[in-house]
Amino acid sequence: MKWARLKTLDATLIGLFDRYGHRVHRISLGILFLWFGLLKPLGHETTTSILAHTIYWGDPDVMVLVLGWWEVVIGVCLLVHPLLRAAILLLALRLPGILLAFVLEPDICFVSFPFTPTPEGQYLIKDLTLFFAALALSGFLADERSEDRFH
């Protein structure tokens, strides 16, 4: 009898995860990008300065603002389901900057390469993880049913 209840509970939970999991995933990533992105233009200290110093296209103080607003736009695009493709594109455009920081500034990213990242390195690894988490959402763009199930 207990096994039957456990199987029923398991089936119910799996059904809920199947129906709502990707929506919750997308919304939570959107909120996270909004939150972390807004910290920069609001003047709060973050480890984004490593990216700003790695990208040689402008003044690091300006680049921190650009990267912050970029993250805000990614967050909004993740929150508004029809803009999910734009979020993936914006994330993909940001990926080279993340990887470039590891190549150009390994002494800032790692205490001991490759297993002991600094706080800045941990932040960049978190960015990579968020990128791949968002990329997992993009797999559902090809599924025509995703329009009905995941927004």
What confidence score (pLDDT) does residue 150 get? 47
The domain limits of the chain are 24-149
Q: What mean pLDDT is predicted for residues 19-46?
A: 89
Under the banding of pLDDT at 50, 70 and 90, the label for residue 49 is low
Spatial distance between the Cα atoms of 114 and 133, rounded to a whole number of angstroms: 22
Average pLDDT over the chain, rounded to an integer: 83
Question: Are the C-beta atoms of 150 and 23 separated by less than 8 Å?
Answer: yes
CA distance 22 to 28: 10
CA dist., res. 75 & res. 132, Å (int): 15
- Banded model confidence at residue 136, pLDDT cuts 50, 70, 90: confident
- For residue 17, what pLDDT is reported? 86
pLDDT at 146 over 90: no
pTM: 0.79
